[in-house]
């Protein structure tokens, strides 16, 4: 709430009024302060953000709701709380508006009126003029003889004491601003000027009184006296305004106790002499001369840091930081930029803050090692991620079975992953050359050895599936084709029959016993020498697979026996071989005709029988006894059909 201190100075008379009329304007001066008593200073709208509009209203009762008269003064200049207006200069005041008891209400910027309303007291001229209007004749002043008034000049006390001012203003219900020290020379000069104006006013008032008491005075003389009075009042008001404007704030708020102002206080600055470029500065509890740095903070300690230097600070160039004395030591002041870092610069899940500690919003996405799992819980070489999917510095060191490579570990040795974790019961299977790791052996000396058959490789645990392996049946390492999946695996292919030239299959016994071609090839005719069949097929099982041609798909197996006597009889019960009298027959070659045909040697029989058996084999009547016919195409003697029904595109014979 604002408080309004005011003083009703005088009624200012319009020059055009008829004799005896009451003036139509009120000269109103007041003081405006804010809620804490500070004077409002708003000389114009350029120097302050808020202008002040004052609305004045007249009432016939201090609590009346309807005003008799109203006017508003816009953007009233206010100098350190003081303002003045001519009430009635915006809206004319009539004699009815001011007749009788009147109360003035004031509102600021269309706000609520301040309370209480102030009663208007008449100035000397207004009082006398009012009485004159009611007088019965003009030769008496207020009905009283002129001789009853004291003639001669009157002296006015032109200097009011503080108590008198408090009494005058206090009667209107407002507080007065604090004491002003009138001993200041500048204020005294302004007061002298005001004194001279008031003396002139006194003379004018005395002249008016004399004129009024003179019954023979003319109306013109009286009007001239009134005009003179008005001019003097205006001069007094101007001097008072100038006085208030010239007052320094120190004249209104009081002087520092230790200022050289003539009192008995000690003047701590009187003896302080500063050199050029220095100014007085407060250091602890005393004043001292210091370099004038233009408002910049010093770069050296202003004083030792103790209780008297609390709050002193300087810029430490060595550490590039401000330091502030806390009574014990100069502490570094942290400087911050208030710049929010990118989320990647803040660890995962932590709130993002600027370097002053203020929240920026969001959480960090940078690597947070506290979220990285223990490396031993992650498989060896595995990537460890935090909760924001950042790759942690360390990688997994736990057991990684995918790295347990037995084939790269020495046969019989413990297998380790790349982190050195033992791979359980897995042992190495790597051997040099054509040797295979016998994982079933109890003797380290026999861990790596040669294999005698596909079944032998399977038994050692060295199988890697159906493929080409190297075996040695005593004649040196030979690459063979092994089936490691059919009926438990371990099958060694001993014959591969594909279409070929007759001269190739019409072999001598020595050629048949030694073998021919590449046993590992799928596209060329080959066979393993008969002398090794029993060594390879230790289990006594024989199997024939045929495909294509007239037989389609054939896959039969049964026990076999190959007699390693000079005649090499083969016993096998499957297909037309077992049903046409061939089983148990001796081996027939180009140089050993042991077949049952009286017409010649079945291995080189007449071409007129293109579907009959041809080449080496176990012939009875040149039918279903060998692996080829006279046309040079494979014969599937494991098939039950005869004659043309045995023709195929591919025939393979296996032993196990």
Tens of pLDDT, residue by residue over 192-218, are 666 676 666 666 556 655 655 554 445
pLDDT for the residue 288: 80
pLDDT recorded at residue 120: 85
Q: Which band of pLDDT confidence, cut at 50, 70 and 90, is reported for residue 36?
A: confident
pLDDT at 273: 84
Q: What is the pLDDT of residues 289-327, one digit of tens each?
A: 877 767 678 888 888 999 988 989 899 999 888 999 999
Instruction: Report the DSSP pairing between strands 491-497 and 515-516.
Output: unpaired
Q: Are 104 and 56 in contact (CB under 8 A)?
A: yes
Express each pLDDT in 430-439 by its tens digit.
899 889 988 7
- Which of the four pLDDT bands, split at 50, 70 and 90, describes residue 334? confident
Indicate the pairing of strand 570-572 with strand 554-562: antiparallel
Residue 338, phi-psi category: left (phi > 0), alpha (psi -120 to 50), beta (remainder): left
Q: Which of the 8 DSSP states describes residue 587?
A: P
Q: Kindly report which listed range (146-155, 356-365, 541-550) carries the lowest average pLDDT score.
A: 146-155
Residue-level pLDDT at 425: 82
**H helix or E strand, kind and range, residue 458:** helix 454-460
- Report the candidate in 486, 496, 411, 422 with the shortest Cα–Cα distance to residue 455: 486
Mean pLDDT, residues 132-145 taken together = 45
Nearest CA to 466 among 450, 482, 486? 482
Cβ(317)–Cβ(325) under 8 Å?
A: no
Confidence of residue 153 (pLDDT cuts 50, 70, 90): very low
Q: Tell me the mean pLDDT in the region 596-618.
A: 81
Work out the angle at residue 230's Cα, subtended by the Cα atoms of residues 226 and 235, and round it to the nearest 5 degrees.
150
Handedness of CA 114, 115, 119, 125 (dihedral sign): negative
> In the structure, what pLDDT confidence band is assigned to residue 6 with cuts at 50, 70 and 90?
very low
- Tokens 């090692």 -> residue: 369
- In this predicted structure, the answer to whether residue 492 has a pLDDT above a threshold of 90 is yes
CA distance 491 to 606: 36
pLDDT score recorded for residue 197: 61
**Distance, CA of 229 to CA of 12 (rounded, Å):** 9
Task: Say whether 655 sits in a helix, a strand or coil.
Answer: strand
**pLDDT at residue 264, as a whole number:** 55
Report the SS3 class of residue 596. coil
Q: Which CATH code is given to the segment(s) 454-655?
A: 3.90.215.10
Alpha helical stretches, state H, 520-584: 533-536, 575-579
Q: What does each C-alpha distance from 501 to 242, 254, 507, 566, 593 come to in angstroms?
A: 141, 136, 12, 27, 21
pLDDT for position 37:
85
pLDDT at 249: 63
199: left (phi over 0), alpha (psi -120 to 50) or beta: alpha
- The whole-model pTM stands at 0.45
DSSP one-letter string for 493-511: EEEEE-S--HHHHS--HHH
Residue 225 has pLDDT above 90, yes or no: no
Distance between the two ends of the chain, CA-based, in angstroms? 116
Q: What percent of the chain has pLDDT over 70?
A: 74
Tell which wins on pLDDT, 112 or 502: 112
Strands (E) located in 538-612: 541-547, 554-562, 570-572
Is 481 within 8 Å of 489 (Cβ atoms)? no
Per the CB < 8 A criterion, the answer to whether 252 and 81 are in contact is: no
Give yes or no for a contact between 340 and 347, defined as CB atoms under 8 angstroms apart: no
Q: Which residues contact 376 (CB under 8 A, 6 or more apart)?
A: 396, 397, 398
Yes or no: say if 486 and 465 are a contact pair by the CB < 8 Å rule.
no
pLDDT in tens, 53-98: 999 999 999 999 999 999 999 999 999 889 999 999 999 988 888 8
What is the average pLDDT score of the chain? 80
Residue with tokens 């190739």: 504
Residue 152 has pLDDT above 60, yes or no: no
Q: Say if residue 556's pLDDT is above 90.
A: yes
- Give pLDDT, residue 205: 59
Is 90 exceeded by the pLDDT of residue 164?
Answer: no
The pLDDT, as a whole number, for residue 9 is 34
Half-sphere exposure of 144 (CA within 13 A, CB side): 11
Instruction: Specify the pLDDT at position 485.
Output: 96
Q: Tens of pLDDT along 503-528?
A: 778 889 999 999 999 999 999 999 99
- Domain boundaries defined on the chain: 3-140, 162-253, 278-333, 454-655
H or E stretch at 43:
none
CA 74 to chain centre: 53
Rg of the chain over Cα atoms, rounded to whole angstroms, equals: 67
Token pair listed for 511? 């050629």
pLDDT at 619 over 80: yes
Instruction: Choose between 396 and 629: higher pLDDT.
Output: 396
pLDDT(552) > 80 = yes
More confident of the two residues 257 and 149: 257
Point out the least confidently predicted range of 206-220, 232-246, 324-338: 206-220
Looking at residue 154, its pLDDT comes to 42
- What integer pLDDT is reported at residue 279 of this predicted model? 82
Most confident of 24-33, 106-115, 603-612: 106-115
3-140: CATH topology: Immunoglobulin-like (2.60.40)
Predicted confidence at residue 241, as pLDDT, reads: 78
Q: Which two tokens stand for residue 374?
A: 């223990």
Q: Quick one: tokens of 499?
A: 């279409």
Q: Predicted confidence band at 128 (pLDDT cuts at 50, 70, 90)? A: very low
Closest CA to 395 of 410, 379, 415, 407: 379
Largest CA distance in the chain: 199
The two tokens of residue 424 are: 């359980």
pLDDT of residue 173: 36
E strands, 401-514, in order: 414-416, 422-427, 436-437, 448-449, 467-471, 478-483, 491-497
Closest-CA residue to 564 (of 538, 595, 533, 593): 533
Q: Are 59 and 53 in contact (CB under 8 A)?
A: no
3-state secondary structure 367-434: CCHHHCCCHHHCECCCEEECCCCCEEEEECCECCHHHCCHHHCECCCEEECCCCCEEEEEECCECCCC
Please, which pLDDT band fits residue 406 given cuts at 50, 70 and 90? Answer: confident
- Tell me the average pLDDT across 251-278: 65
162-253 is classed CATH 1.10.10 = no
Answer whether 67's CB lies under 8 Å from 58's CB.
Answer: yes
The answer to whether the beta carbons of residues 401 and 423 sit under 8 Å apart is yes
Q: If we measure between CA atoms, which residue out of 76, 78, 90, 77 comes closest to residue 25?
A: 90
Q: Give the alpha-carbon dihedral of 502, 506, 512, 517, to 10 degrees.
A: -30
């Amino acid at each position: 709430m604002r408080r309004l201190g005011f003083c009703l100075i005088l009624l200012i008379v319009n020059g055009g009024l008829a004799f005896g009329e009451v003036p139509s304007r009120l000269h109103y001066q007041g003081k405006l302060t804010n809620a804490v008593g500070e004077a409002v200073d708003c000389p114009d709208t350029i120097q302050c953000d808020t202008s002040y509009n004052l609305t004045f209203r007249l009432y016939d009762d201090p609590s009346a709701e309807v005003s008799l008269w109203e006017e508003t003064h816009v953007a009233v200049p206010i100098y350190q709380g003081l303002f003045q207006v001519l009430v009635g200069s915006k809206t004319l005041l009539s004699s009815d508006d001011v007749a009788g008891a009147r109360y003035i209400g004031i509102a600021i910027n269309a706000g609520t009126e301040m309370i209480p309303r102030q009663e208007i007291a008449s100035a000397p001229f207004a009082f006398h003029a009012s009485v004159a209007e009611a007088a019965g004749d003009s030769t008496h002043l207020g009905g009283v003889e002129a001789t009853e008034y004291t003639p001669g000049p009157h002296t006015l006390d032109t200097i009011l004491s503080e108590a008198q001012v408090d009494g005058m203003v206090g009667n209107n219900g407002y507080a007065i601003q604090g004491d002003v020290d009138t001993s200041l020379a500048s204020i005294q000069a302004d007061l002298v000027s005001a004194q001279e104006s008031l003396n002139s006013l006194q003379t004018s008032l005395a002249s008016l009184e004399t004129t009024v008491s003179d019954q023979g005075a003319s109306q013109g003389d009286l009007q001239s006296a009134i005009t003179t009075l008005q001019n003097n009042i205006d001069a007094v008001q101007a001097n008072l305004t100038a006085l208030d404007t010239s007052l320094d704030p120190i004249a209104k708020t009081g002087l520092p106790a230790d200022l050289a102002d003539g009192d008995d206080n000690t003047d701590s600055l009187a003896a302080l002499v500063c050199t050029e470029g220095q100014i007085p500065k407060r250091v602890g509890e005393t004043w001292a001369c210091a370099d004038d740095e233009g408002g910049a903070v010093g770069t050296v300690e202003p004083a030792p840091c103790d209780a008297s230097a609390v709050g002193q600070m300087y810029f430490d160039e060595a550490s590039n930081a401000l330091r502030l004395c806390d009574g014990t030591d100069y502490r570094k002041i942290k400087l911050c930029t208030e710049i929010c870092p990118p989320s990647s610069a803040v660890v995962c899940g932590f709130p993002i803050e600027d370097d002053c500690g203020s929240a920026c919003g969001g959480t960090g996405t940078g690597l947070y090692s506290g979220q990285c799992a223990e490396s031993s819980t992650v498989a060896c070489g595995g990537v460890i991620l935090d909760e924001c999917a950042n790759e942690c510095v360390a990688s997994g060191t736990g057991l990684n079975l995918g790295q347990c490579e037995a084939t790269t570990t020495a046969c019989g040795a413990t297998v380790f992953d790349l982190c050195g974790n033992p791979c359980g019961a897995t042992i190495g299977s790597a051997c040099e050359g054509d040797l295979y790791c016998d994982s079933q052996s109890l003797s380290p000396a026999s861990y790596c050895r040669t294999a005698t058959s596909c079944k032998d490789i399977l038994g050692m645990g060295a199988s890697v599936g159906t493929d080409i392996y190297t075996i040695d049946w005593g004649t040196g390492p030979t690459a063979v084709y092994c089936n490691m999946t059919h009926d438990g695996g371990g099958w060694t292919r001993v014959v591969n029959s594909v279409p070929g030239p007759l001269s190739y299959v019409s072999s001598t016994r020595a050629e048949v016993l030694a073998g021919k071609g590449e046993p590992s090839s799928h596209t060329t005719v080959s066979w393993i020498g008969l002398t090794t069949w029993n060594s390879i097929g230790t289990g006594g099982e024989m199997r024939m697979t045929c495909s294509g041609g007239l037989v389609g798909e054939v896959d039969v197996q049964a026990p076999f026996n190959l007699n390693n006597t000079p005649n090499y009889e083969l016993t096998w019960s499957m297909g037309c071989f077992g049903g046409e009298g061939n089983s148990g027959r001796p081996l027939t070659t180009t140089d050993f005709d042991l077949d049952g045909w009286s017409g010649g040697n079945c291995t080189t029989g007449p071409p007129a029988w293109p579907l009959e058996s041809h080449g080496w084999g176990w012939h009875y009547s040149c039918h279903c006894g060998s692996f080829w016919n006279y046309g040079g195409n494979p014969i599937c003697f494991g098939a039950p059909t005869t004659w043309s029904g045995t023709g195929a595109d591919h025939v393979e014979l296996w032993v196990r």
